[in-house]
Amino acid sequence: MDSIVVRGGKALSGQIEIAGAKNAALALMPATLLSDEPLTLTNTPRLSDIKTMTVLLESLGAEISSLQDGKVQTMSCHGLINTTADYDIVRKMRASNLVLGPLLAREGHAIVSLPGGCAIGARPMDIHTDGLTKMGAQIDLKDGYLHAKADGGKLKGAVIDFPFASVGATENIMMAATLAKGTTVINNAAREPEIVDLASCLTKMGAQIDGAGTSTITIQGVDRLHGATHPVVTDRIELGTYMLAPVIAGGEVECLGGRMDLVAAFAEKLDAVGVSVEETKAGLKVKLNGNRPRAVNVITEPFPGFPTDLQAQMMAMLCFADGTSVLEEKIFENRFMHAPELVRMGANIEVHGGTATVTGVDKMKGAPVMATDLRASVSLILAGLAAEGETQVNRVYHLDRGYENVAEKLGSVGADIERVAGR
């Protein structure tokens, strides 16, 4: 397996182009199932998860062409050949479950394997299936597959009250509702930018959606959707990750395509630790004021709160902070698996349940470490930017699911980093 090798001690300077959002693209791609006309996505990230979703959609009958080195995806689904999402594909990525709503809406039936993905805690499908059931679907679990059928072959609008604001369930129900008969209201809907981006794309395709970005979304079903061209929104998690790089390593980096509205809560925490974030015509410019960041407490919350997907990266930065910080993980259990690896590098971290206490240290030392999930992998790379000596991050196949060309991007601003091919 490949590994990433980082030799710390190099201050950073320059610009990093931020890719389109993985989590947005993975919801936008299944929207092609809702129409028999082409859907073209621009600013698509080049990631292994995108390839997995491509394979899944092609297995259902979609024709997909990649242009401009993969940054443009043109998808056409004029004829479905299959309504079963097979385990061998779905197990690789949790977002595969987002084909369930579109398949039900278009064909009236679907068989979808329970999904896989990073092992960062339970993310049950109940909230998805409960919502679809209220829309008239009959759903049974058999041998690890969800067998779903719409009553009378057509979903019906309904009022759906989510017990918590689930991003995936909001996306699944929103797509399903676009072709349902009548009006669907989603209460306690997720408010993430990826939800707004999906609603924008669906609206271009002819859907009638109001309230995206608020806790109540209303969808009036239509008879059919047509094709569209849509740019994928900037990846706020990649943006936040690279905003932390100069804070840890020193120097100044401009993140091209960055927008403050995508990372407002995160930027507030950076301000509290002594980081300057300047809006420019091209993006966001970041630098640390002083020699060390200050300690700060962090609680992960649904958007617009502090993102759980930036918790590991924030912990890496706080390992070098002046003082003691407390991080509370409120979204996923079992999401501190990166902490023992950071401790191997000399960090002072104590984990108790969903709380991690991080006392900053003067220095850390490079060590062989192992990535346990997507965000954990990049947090170890960030820590390696400031650690003495060499850090080797193993099992970086996790990294490829959510970050394109990490070594190239960090290397372009002065980091001493390389990807080493496995044997």
User: Which residues carry a binding-site annotation for UDP-N-acetyl-alpha-D-glucosamine?
Assistant: 94, 309, 331
Among the listed residues 229, 231, 211, 228, the one whose alpha carbon sits nearest the alpha carbon of residue 220: 211
Supply the DSSP symbol for 416: E
**H or E element that contains 318:** helix 311-318
Question: How many other C-beta atoms are found inside a 10 Å radius of the C-beta of residue 349?
Answer: 20
Q: How many CA atoms lie within 13 A of 276 on its CB side?
A: 12
CA distance 388 to 362: 11
Q: Which candidate, 241, 234, 279, places its Cα nearest to that of 260?
A: 279
Are the C-beta atoms of 327 and 318 separated by less than 8 Å?
Answer: yes
The pair of three-digit structure tokens given for residue 5, joined into one six-digit string: 């090798």
Please state the residue numbers annotated as binding site for phosphoenolpyruvate.
Answer: 22-23
- What CA–CA distance (Å, rounded) separates 371 from 375? 9
Which residues form the catalytic set?
118
Q: What distance in Å separates the CA atoms of residue 404 and residue 17, rounded to the nearest whole number?
A: 11
Three-state DSSP at 225 gives: coil
Residue 335 gets which letter from DSSP? -
Q: Choose among 417, 296, 421, 377: nearest CA to 12.
A: 417
**Cα-based distances in Å from 31 to 141, 388, 402:** 24, 47, 20
The one-letter code for the residue type at 277 is V
Torsion sign, CA atoms 198, 218, 85, 129: positive
How far apart CA 315 and CA 70 sit, in angstroms, is 32
Q: Is 149 exposed, middle or buried (0-12, 13-18, 19+ CB in 10 A)?
A: middle
How many angstroms separate the CA atoms of 398 and 228, rounded? 32
